[in-house]
């Protein structure tokens, strides 16, 4: 049973056979929570798209800053914008709420502190035909107004299979399990009643992509950085609260138990590595607070990943595992030191 649950999403009246130019083609979903400092820049990038056949769904998730009024201003000034205000239930609830109210054929998810290229929609539209079930675009990561990383999919074909899509979710330096660098077919989401699991608070987008893959045969790659992901100053060394880390552990469990449903050896190995990495994250982030660790919980997580990490060919994972097994406090100090060094060494060209 998947952690991503399904709920009844009302059917969209549009169909594949309707006129692409008269019906809304893209539904851009933007969850908003205390985004007063970033929302205008995000919305400017959306409302200044070169391609114009789209709607914007803003879901204000119980903000307590000026996000509420900003959303209302955007709705009053632009007929493309539709605003919904809800109590604070989290980003997954906001996305599900939006999915219940979209009119488009394809869904685009944008976080309210990020922004998109002016030609995002146009370039995606140019790559869509009636058989397109998923589009994946490039990412540009930005921190402190500097480009720190830019995705590259040059090794991939323009059209990839379901298995290649799944491999790319879990393989390092690929497109990952993010939803904001992907464009989803809303008919697939609605027909199969797909939604985001509101009971988990991290990696919910990876689970959504994993389950969505069960209903597609192909994906199209656009090897251009069309989505601008803003990495915040403290996110590189942020220690997540225990609730979120336990969500990460639940997702890893779910993926681990379902990793062999697709008979592809490379995919299984990639998912093994991904799950082991998530378990290690759980140990570092949840079980080493102020130098005090929960040995019982660590032992349970180590048991889950021991067989796969030892048989894996990933040397870095093996070393992390061995160090954690025999010198847990040292492992934690090394982990923290590496995170700090990476954060301080961020550099790149200025925007």
Could you report the per-residue pLDDT of 119-129, keeping only the tens digit for each?
999 999 999 99
Instruction: Using the predicted structure, report yes or no on whether residue 312 has a pLDDT greater than 60.
Output: no
Do 187 and 147 share a domain, yes or no?
yes
pLDDT of residue 15: 37
Instruction: Using the predicted structure, report yes or no on whether residue 151 has a pLDDT greater than 90.
Output: no
Do 221 and 326 share a domain, yes or no?
no
More confident residue, 69 or 350: 69
Task: Pick the last residue of a domain from 230, 255, 270.
Answer: 230
Among candidate residues 105, 96, 103, 95, the one with its CA nearest the CA of residue 187: 105
Q: With bands split at pLDDT 50, 70 and 90, how would you rate the model's confidence at 289? A: low
pLDDT of residue 290: 47
Tell me if 287 is assigned to some domain.
Answer: yes
> What is the average per-residue pLDDT within 302-330?
67
pLDDT of residue 237: 38
Q: With bands split at pLDDT 50, 70 and 90, how would you rate the model's confidence at 230? A: very high
**In CATH, what number is assigned to the domain containing residue 181?**
3.90.550.10
Task: Calculate ∠ Cα 339-304-5, nearest 5°.
Answer: 85
Do 66 and 215 share a domain, yes or no?
yes
Task: Pick the last residue of a domain from 230, 265, 293.
Answer: 230
List the structure tokens of 219: 């994906």
Do 72 and 199 share a domain, yes or no?
yes
pLDDT of residue 235: 44
pLDDT of residue 19: 42
pLDDT of residue 102: 97
Q: With bands split at pLDDT 50, 70 and 90, how would you rate the model's confidence at 16? A: very low
pLDDT of residue 249: 84
List the structure tokens of 344: 């301080």
Do 260 and 284 share a domain, yes or no?
yes
For residue 277, the Cα-to-chain-centroid distance in whole angstroms is 17
Tell me if 53 is assigned to some domain.
Answer: yes
> What is the average per-residue pLDDT within 241-260?
79
> What is the average per-residue pLDDT within 133-156?
90
Do 77 and 222 share a domain, yes or no?
yes
Tell me if 8 is assigned to some domain.
Answer: no
Do 275 and 134 share a domain, yes or no?
no
Q: Is 170 left (phi over 0), alpha (psi -120 to 50) or beta?
A: alpha
Instruction: Using the predicted structure, report yes or no on whether residue 299 has a pLDDT greater than 90.
Output: no
Helix (H) or strand (E) holding 321: helix 315-326
> What is the average per-residue pLDDT within 247-270?
84
- When the pLDDT of each residue in the chain is averaged and rounded to a whole number, the result is 83
* CA separation for the pair 242, 286 (Å, rounded): 5
What are the C-alpha distances in Å from 141 to residues 90, 147, 149, 196, 231? 24, 6, 5, 24, 7
* CA separation for the pair 88, 92 (Å, rounded): 11
Q: Are 207 and 200 in contact (CB under 8 A)?
A: yes
Q: pTM (2 decimals)? A: 0.84
- What are phi and psi for residue 96, nearest 5 degrees? -65, -40
Among candidate residues 310, 307, 284, 316, the one with its CA nearest the CA of residue 297: 284
Tell me if 17 is assigned to some domain.
Answer: no
Among candidate residues 172, 168, 152, 170, the one with its CA nearest the CA of residue 160: 168
Instruction: Using the predicted structure, report yes or no on whether residue 251 has a pLDDT greater than 60.
Output: yes
pLDDT of residue 1: 41
Among candidate residues 28, 88, 38, the one with its CA nearest the CA of residue 58: 28
Do 246 and 286 share a domain, yes or no?
yes
Tell me if 213 is assigned to some domain.
Answer: yes
> What is the average per-residue pLDDT within 301-306?
72
More confident residue, 50 or 152: 50
Do 111 and 181 share a domain, yes or no?
yes
pLDDT of residue 293: 57
pLDDT 10s digits, 199-209: 888 889 999 99
Do 37 and 177 share a domain, yes or no?
yes
pLDDT of residue 78: 97
Tell me if 19 is assigned to some domain.
Answer: no
Tell me if 14 is assigned to some domain.
Answer: no
> What is the average per-residue pLDDT within 171-175?
86
- Into how many domains does the chain fold? 2
What is the domain extent for residue 85? 26-230
Do 160 and 30 share a domain, yes or no?
yes
Buried b (16+ CB within 10 A) or exposed e, 26-52: bbbbbbbbbbbebbeebbebbbebebe
Q: Which residue has the tokens 């995705």?
A: 151
Do 203 and 254 share a domain, yes or no?
no
Task: Pick the last residue of a domain from 200, 230, 260.
Answer: 230
pLDDT of residue 17: 40
pLDDT 10s digits, 41-92: 999 999 999 999 999 999 999 999 999 999 999 999 999 999 999 999 999 9
pLDDT 10s digits, 175-198: 999 999 999 999 999 999 999 999
Q: Are 112 and 37 in contact (CB under 8 A)?
A: no
What are the C-alpha distances in Å from 186 to residues 103, 238, 291, 323? 9, 34, 47, 46
Tell me if 36 is assigned to some domain.
Answer: yes
């Amino acid at each position: 049973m998947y952690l991503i649950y399904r709920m009844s999403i009302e059917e969209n009246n549009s169909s594949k056979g309707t006129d692409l130019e008269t019906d809304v083609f893209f539904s851009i979903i933007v969850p908003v929570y205390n985004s007063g400092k970033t929302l205008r820049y995000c919305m400017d990038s959306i409302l200044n798209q070169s391609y114009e056949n789209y709607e914007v769904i803003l879901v204000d998730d119980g903000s307590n800053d000026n996000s509420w009024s900003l959303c209302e201003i955007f709705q009053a000034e632009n007929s493309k914008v539709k605003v919904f205000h809800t109590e604070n239930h989290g980003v997954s609830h906001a996305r599900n709420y939006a999915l219940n109210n979209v009119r488009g054929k394809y869904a685009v998810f944008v976080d309210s502190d990020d922004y998109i290229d002016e030609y995002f929609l146009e370039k995606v539209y140019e790559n869509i035909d009636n058989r397109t079930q998923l589009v994946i675009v490039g990412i540009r990561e930005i921190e402190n107004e500097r480009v720190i990383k830019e995705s590259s999919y040059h090794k991939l074909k323009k059209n990839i299979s379901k298995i290649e899509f799944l491999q790319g979710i879990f393989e390092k330096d690929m497109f990952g399990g993010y939803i904001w660098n992907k464009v989803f077919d809303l008919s697939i989401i609605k027909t199969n009643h797909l939604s985001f699991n509101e009971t988990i608070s991290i990696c919910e987008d990876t689970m959504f992509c994993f389950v969505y893959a069960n209903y597609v045969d192909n994906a199209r790659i656009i090897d251009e950085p069309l989505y601008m992901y803003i990495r915040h100053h403290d996110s590189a060394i942020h220690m997540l609260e225990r609730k979120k880390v336990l969500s990460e552990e639940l997702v890893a469990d779910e993926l681990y138990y379902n990793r062999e449903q697709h008979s592809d050896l490379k995919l299984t190995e990639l998912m093994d590595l991904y799950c082991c990495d998530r378990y290690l994250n759980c140990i570092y982030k949840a079980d080493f607070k102020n130098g005090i660790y929960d040995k019982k919980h660590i032992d349970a997580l180590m048991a889950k990943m021991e067989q796969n990490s030892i048989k894996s060919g990933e040397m870095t994972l093996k070393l992390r595992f061995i160090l954690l097994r025999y010198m847990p406090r040292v492992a934690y100090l090394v982990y923290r030191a590496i995170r700090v060094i990476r954060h301080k060494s961020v550099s790149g060209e200025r925007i």
